[in-house]
Amino acid sequence: MLTIKILGPGCPNCQKVEAYTRQALDVLQPEGGYELVKVTDPVDISAYILRTPGLVINGQVVVEGRVPSADEVKGWIADALAAG
């Protein structure tokens, strides 16, 4: 099961990261399921990153401080699924 955390206060950039993540999950449809968590509390965010938006997949920070492309997000999720 994938655990994906979107880190940010809910700004437009954070919303883009969430939209790209949801699109990738819709396409890849992880067999084991997934948990998508929005982390908005500054203290919780700072445990992972210093600049938002951020994306964490299975405990690993994959991006911080910028909006990745939809293809990047899909690639990271596919890699996490392949790693099992």
- Residues that are catalytic: 11, 14
- Euclidean distance between CA atoms 75 and 71, whole angstroms: 6
Which amino acid, residue 18? E
Please say whether the dihedral angle defined by the alpha carbons of residues 61, 62, 66 and 67, taken in this order, is positive or negative.
negative
Q: What are the residue ranges of helices labelled H in 3-66?
A: 12-28, 42-46
